[in-house]
Chain A
Amino acid sequence: MKLPTLNDNPFMKPMEWVSLLLLAGLILVLLPLALDSFRLNLVGKYLTYAFVALGLVICWGYCGILSLGQGVFFGLGGYCMAMYLKLEASSVENTRIQSTPGIPDFMDWNQVTALPWFWKPFHSLPLTLIAVVAVPTLFAFVIGAAMFKRRVGGTYFAIITQAIAAILTILIVGQQGYTGGINGITDLRTLNGWDIRTDAAKTILYFVNGGLLIACILVAQAVKRSKLGRILVAMRDKEDRVRFSGYAVASFKIFAFCLAAAFAAVGGAMFTLQVGFMSPSFVGIVPSIEMVIYTAVGGRLSLFGAVYGTLLVNWAKTSFSESFPELWLFGLGALFIAVVLAFPNGLAGIWRQHVEPRLSRKPKSPALPAVLPHGAPAE
């Protein structure tokens, strides 16, 4: 069989363009028309998780690196944004009653009298916007460089990223005076003078969020179809062969991990803007693993699937935990098990196997590659 070369491959197949248009139509037209502003804000919140899920598709689905610490990057991005908003909300006029005016209220409560050095850059909006992406990406780079250069991968990497998520949560909760502790950074008001609490602002932020998500999908698609994307897949399936062919395996892995971190960070920042606070409960182990399940449900090899998976799981979570809080954990647990055992390719896999062949009258398209083809190294 002749494999198509890269030049034959269009940027996206017609079917994928249709999927993209459908998704964009759903997010940018249908949902805003159908939902009231409260529900729309809720969907906006879910969509911020979809950034993380997208990153995981590249990092986990295509490159085979399971990170259980994506909450760290989501949280770092969110905290960077929250620090800027908090500083703006605690101007000297707003905080007259404090013993030290001009610093965030939780610092005042914890007897911190001067703004710590790492808060200072967040007075400036451009620096904040850079930090939102740069801080988590750099952090991912350090972790990735340390681990992948030493050929740590697979389950070890998963455990260590999980430990990092635990450490960061404990650190944020413990250093109450500098981070706001368990309550997080709350009471955020304006972005460069623009009130983000009004319904109109929330609607605008929703559209910004949706646009950014589509942009991230396009970036991920560009990575996926490039030569780089093929090397990622090759590495996932037979790492040693790629290494022996002369590729610096570690650098490619670091790239995939950093890209996933950057996506997660954008999601985190948008989360802070739309929801109006950031807290350590979005950083730790439990949210990080939940973000993995969004990807798994949607299909770990499908960019669009990841978005739908995120929406579906969160929708189920909200409606179940509203009406049957007891059942929700059973349902979520069963979902984990079912996806892994029965549908390793998630919703996208079901779609490609059962729906797509009926849509196109063409002869059956070749089956989706297995998640781990035969003989994948069990590290």
Chain B
Amino acid sequence: MFGDYSLGDLGAIFAMQGFAGLILFSVYVLMALGLAIIFGQMGVINMAHGEFMILGAYVTYLCSGFFQSNLPALFPGYFFVAMVLAFLAAGALGMLVEWALIRHLYKRPLDTLLATWGLSLILQQAYRSIFGAREVGVELPSWLIGSVQVTDAIEIPINGMFVMAVTVLITVAVALLLFASRWGRQVRAVMQNRVMAGAVGIDTDRVDRATFGIGCGIAGIAGAAFTMIGSTGPTSGQLYIVDTFLIVVFGGAASLLGTIASAFSISQTQSTLEFFLSGSTAKVLTLLGVVAILMLRPQGLFTLKVRR
């Protein structure tokens, strides 16, 4: 499969595909971060995670339209406002869902899966009724358009770089939040031993709600970032949900580092294979590889050593 390319070509191909993989990686990481918090820390399977992401994307779309028609002077910076709004909208919806639905089902993880699947169907149909079945795209401000020419064969799109920068920022923020803040300590305490955490005075119900809300909020940011590189439709979220779950499981459910490592390896494998094989074969091979590794090592790449 490499036969027809010279060594220099191969280098350029790997660099370009590597970069395309990095953009995919960014979306995966943003999606998986929220999921890892919810699934890894709380053990809840949120099948509607993709729909929370799409909510963020639609909020960004609305923001872009609003700034374009009402505040054209501030248009170049609208994306930052949109990101905050996307986080708030998805987070608020997340907390509502936790209150109405999830908190009744903590002892029945398989049932949360079905209930959140139902939720995702409702949200999809709601998006379809409100925004229409056609995919929508946002208008990019001029400074995000174009690309940087590195060499003759390699050029890097600016919006891709921006998405990656956002990803790095959010990842650092989540890591700080989980490992350096009071709230993070509480979340980890509740995860490791719910009863004991309650006994030492942590309000576990509130921690759960906040955790779920923040997980969904991050999905909203993922959606906002997603609009930079693709268009949004009512069912776009569903395309990513299986991949994202595999990433979280593959990385080791409770490990942030594992999530990032597995998102990186999966996205890079997929985008490199995509160049040489057809898209569907690349995807099948990647997923098969992941499932095969999971069969050999069900606990995932990284495991948190916890005494239970």
Q: B-contacting residues of A (Cβ < 8 Å)?
A: 60, 66, 68, 146-147, 150-152, 154-156, 158-160, 162-164, 166-167, 170-171, 173-174, 285, 289, 292-293, 296, 326, 329-330, 332-337, 339-341, 344, 371-372, 376, 378-379
B37-51 interface code vs A (CB 8 A; 1 in, 0 out): 001000101000000
Check B115 against A174 for contact (C-beta < 8 Å).
no
Of the 9-residue stretches B60-68, B70-78, B156-164, B282-290, which lies at the interface with chain A? B282-290
B110-140 vs A, CB cutoff 8 Å, 1 = contact: the mask equals 1111110111111011101100000000000
**Does B212 sit within 8 A of A, measured CB to CB?**
no
Indicate whether A171 sits within 8 Å of B295 (C-beta atoms), given known contacts A162-B242, A333-B120, A335-B118: no
Which of A164, A166, A336, A378 is in CB contact (< 8 Å) with B117? A336
Beyond the given A170-B280, A330-B125, A336-B121, could you list 10 further A-B residue pairs with CB under 8 A, ordered by the A residue number?
Answer: A154-B110, A155-B39, A158-B45, A163-B287, A166-B242, A166-B287, A174-B278, A336-B118, A341-B115, A378-B106
Q: Is the CB of B115 within 8 A of A340?
A: yes
Q: Is the CB of A337 within 8 A of B115?
A: yes
Query: Which B residues, 87 to 126, have Cβ-Cβ distances below 8 Å to chain A?
Result: 101, 104-115, 117-122, 124-126
Which residues in B have their C-beta under 8 angstroms from that of A156? 249, 298
| Overall SS of chain B's interface | helix
Which of B110, B245, B284 has the largest count of A CB atoms less than 10 A from its CB?
B110
Cβ-defined contact, A334 with B122, below 8 A: yes
Contact B101 A171 (CB under 8 A): no
Residue contact B107 to A173, C-beta cutoff 8 Å: no
Would A164 and B291 count as touching, CB distance under 8 A? yes
The answer to whether B118 and A147 touch across the interface, beta carbons within 8 angstroms, is no
Interface size range of chain B in the complex: 35 or more
Q: Counting chain A CB atoms within 10 Å of each CB, which of B112, B121, B245 scores highest?
A: B121
CB-CB under 8 A from A340, the residues of chain B are 105, 108, 111-112, 114-115, 118
Q: Does B246 contact A (CB under 8 A)?
A: yes
A330 to B234 CA separation, bound complex (whole angstroms)? 14
Interface SS of chain A: helix, strand, loop or mixed?
helix
Instruction: Give the residue name and chain of the A residue nearest to B107 (CB).
Output: A378
Verify A167–B288 contact, CB threshold 8 A.
Answer: yes
Name the distance in Å between A211's Cβ and chain B's nearest Cβ: 31
Q: A68, A151, A296, A336: which has the most chain B beta carbons within 10 Å?
A: A336
Instruction: Give complex CA distance A336, B294 in Å.
Output: 29
Chain B residues with Cβ below 8 Å from A378 are: 43, 106-109
Tally inter-chain residue pairs, CB-CB below 8 A. 126
The distance in angstroms between the C-alpha atoms of A150 and B124, with both chains bound, is 36
Flag whether B147 is at the interface (Cβ < 8 A).
Answer: no
* B281 CB–A CB distance under 8 Å: yes
A156 to B295, CA, bound (A): 11
Whether A155 touches B43, Cβ cut-off 8 Å, given contacts A332-B121, A335-B118, A371-B108, is yes
B254: min CB distance to chain A, Å: 13
- Listed by A's residue number, 16 A-B pairs whose Cβ atoms lie within 8 Å are A147-B295, A150-B298, A155-B110, A155-B113, A163-B287, A163-B290, A166-B242, A171-B284, A296-B114, A335-B118, A336-B115, A336-B117, A340-B112, A340-B114, A340-B115, A344-B111
**Could you say which residues of chain A place their CB within 8 Å of the CB of B290?**
163
**Residues in B whose Cβ lies below 8 Å from that of A292:** 114
Q: Is the CB of A329 within 8 A of B295?
A: no
The interface residues of chain B lying within 8 Å CB-to-CB of A146 are 295
Is B125 a contact of A337 with CB atoms below 8 Å?
Answer: no
B217 CB, nearest partner CB in chain A, Å: 22
* B contact residues around A336 at 8 Å (CB): 114-115, 117-119, 121
**Which residue, B107, B128, B295, has most C-beta atoms of chain A within 10 A?**
B295
Chain A nearest CB from B103 CB (Å) reads 11
Given the known A-B contacts A333-B120, A336-B115, are A285 and B242 also in contact in the complex, defined by CB atoms under 8 Å? yes
Known interface pairs A158-B113, A285-B242; A170-B120 also in contact (CB < 8 Å): no
List B7-64 residues whose CB lies under 8 Å from chain A. 39, 43, 45
Do A159 and B114 have beta carbons less than 8 Å apart? no
Measured between beta carbons, the chain B residues less than 8 angstroms from A162 are: 242, 245
CB distance from A373 to the nearest CB of B (A): 10
Given A146-B295, A160-B249, A341-B104, A333:B118 Cβ within 8 A: yes
Closest to A64 in B: B110
Minimal beta-carbon separation of A281 from chain B (angstroms): 14
Interface positions, chain B 264-302, Cβ under 8 Å from A, are 278, 280-281, 283-284, 287-288, 290-291, 294-295, 298
Q: Assess whether B45 is in contact with A155, with CB atoms less than 8 Å apart.
A: yes
